[in-house]
Structure 1
Amino acid sequence: MRADIETGAGVGNAERICSYFKRSIPSYEKNASVQQVVGQNLVDQLTSFSDLRQNRVLEVGCCTGSTTAMLCDSFDIRKIWVNDLVEECCSMTAERIGAQVEEAIALPGDIESVPLPQSLDLVISSSTYQWLKDLAACFTRLEATLAEGGFFAFSMFGPGTMSQVQQLTGVGLNYPDENSIHAIVSRLFTIELIDTSHHRIYLDSPREVLRHIKNTGVGGVCGFRWTPSKLRAFETEYCSRFGAANGVPVDYAAITVIARKLS
């Protein structure tokens, strides 16, 4: 890894965040094991709601389509719009699940501003909303797209995610906690489920942590440029403070919410 690799972009810088995720497309699914576990858990939780209608669905932040595929494996969806900042992800995902649904429509663009379909039965998202500039405004916007009784289901990363990197570099996302999410969602929806799960993976070295960040596209956090001395200090401190017999840890915390539109 080059010593001058830059990690971070700043929440709300959609163009730069898009570029990070676009570059990670070939490596994403191989490296995003936690994101896949979180997505599968979200879909599994949804299966317990027998009155979930499945005719018109919007997925926010489809990325390479792993959660989309899980959703289509579990439900008989007729029409789905797949949204992502990265246009290639939308077309890739629509093609990936094309044989499983009657119609898959690519909807590229920033979910905070792109025109949206209406009268939806479900808006679903996994590992995306932590990137938004204005979470409350976007949730209000998405609530308006749902038909009465429609479901609003998502998982997003919360405080504690990549805490080791944040402690050592001083940069990272300002994640809202479960209480903050509850306050926003409960103003718009009836909450059926809200839960925080914790996940930890181990990698061989601090440099592998940085590769993991790069390969999953989550370098778009806040500006940080590595120099040789900063990289050496990062490696030494990471091993000293967090190292274990099975490697160095990377933590994630995922907040999962399932809610219904108020009548």
Structure 2
Amino acid sequence: MLARLDKKRISHCFAKALASYDQHAQAQQQINRRLADLLHYSQQTSFQQVLEIGCGSGDLTRLLAQDYQVRSWCLNDLNSSALALAKQRLATAEVKLWAADAEQFERTLVLNQQFDLLASASTVQWFQQPQRIIQLATQALKPNGWLLFSTFLPQNLVEIKQLTAVGLDYPSLQQWQTWLEPHFELIAQDQQAIQLWFQQPSAVLRHLQATGVTATNQRQWTKGKLADFYQRYQQQFSVNGKVRLTYAPLLMLAKRKQNQ
């Protein structure tokens, strides 16, 4: 069963997890580092104006600021508390904050092809229509501007989906390539899976809660259902006394076509 996306619930879950996010978001931090590295394929060392969608606590913001010279930033997130935290990573830069649902960008921000980089990490899977990031980028980026983003492939969190039959609807790599093609040239991509290992299944659920990923989980856990989940998780996904959790990220770097 595909999870229904409730933006208010998503905002609440990530706001609740903000204090614990950086400590527990090992997979997301690996993705952020790989995104910053992927941007080197642009052969750019500086950007005039950068728009980051779903900046969260600002880990990708920090990495991009370390690796590249940026004159001004526009940081977006659903939560103003996350924006304030991310802004602290950019003490010396010109920063504009945009607290809004970026999927509804037409209502809240005039873009006018003013940015030369749009970056987004582990965010667009929370869009009702993930391909809206490409529409946003088409309006936000100058010709030859850069779109750098990560999302997840259908195999993401396969252990949770297999045991609960609940998960997000993740587009395939081929679908993303089709969406990009009219306006963007795909320059580089990365789809290497990330496996995390935990001492027991209860630690998996604590990890998901601490990183806000439970925003899609509206099931009622009884004591019996939870015990059954733990038992089946241990039986099916245990190796050498630990249990695994698999992230299946997709990272893409694309260049906006000159004549689009």
Counterpart CA distance in 2 for 1:121 and 1:53 is: 10
- Which residue number corresponds to residue 251 of structure 1? 246
- Across the aligned residues of Structure 1 and Structure 2, the Cα RMSD in angstroms comes to 1.6
What is the distance in 2 between the residues matched to 1:250 and 1:51?
35
Find out whether 1:10 has 2:4 as its counterpart. Answer: yes
CA apart distance, 1:229: 0.9
Q: Does 1:220 align with 2:211?
A: no
Report the TM-score when normalising by structure 2.
0.93
Cα displacement string for residues 192-231 of structure 1 (whole angstroms, at most 9, x for unaligned residues): 1123110100011111111011000011124212111110
Match of 2:16 among 20, 23, 40: 23
**Equivalent position to 2:57, from 46, 55, 64:** 64
Matched, 1:242 2:237: yes
TM-score normalised per structure 1: 0.92
C-alpha change, 1:57 and 1:172, in structure 2 (3 Å) is same
Q: Following the alignment from structure 2 to structure 1, what is the Cα–Cα distance between the partners of residues 195 and 129?
A: 28
**Residues 1-263 of structure 1 correspond to what in structure 2 (within 5 A)?**
10-11=4-5, 13-51=6-44, 54-99=47-92, 101=93, 103-113=94-104, 114-118=108-112, 119-263=114-258
Q: Following TM superposition, by how much is the alpha carbon of 1:187 offset from its aligned partner in structure 2, in angstroms? A: 2.2
Higher helix share: 2
Task: Indicate if the aligned counterparts of 1:54 and 1:77 stay in contact, CA closer than 8 A.
Answer: yes
Q: Which residue of 2 aligns with 1:3?
A: none
CA distance in structure 2 between the aligned counterparts of 1:76 and 1:136, rounded to whole angstroms: 28
Q: How many residues align?
A: 253
Q: Secondary structure at the match of 2:62?
A: helix
Gaps of 5+ in 2: none
Q: Which piece of structure 1 moves more, 215-224 or 122-131?
A: 215-224
Shift of 1:142: 2.3
Q: Which moved more, 1:144-153 or 1:48-57?
A: 48-57
CA distance in 2, matches of 1:225, 1:111: 30
C-alpha displacement of 1:53: 5.0
Deviations 1:131-156 (A, max 9, x none): 11112234212211111110011111
Change over 3 Å in CA distance of 1:187–1:204 after alignment to 2:
same
Measured after TM superposition, the shift of residue 241 of structure 1 is: 0.8
**Structure-2 change in CA distance of 1:246 and 1:67 (3 Å):** farther
CA deviations over 1:17-54 (Å, ceiling 9, x no partner)? 00000000111011000100111111111123224650
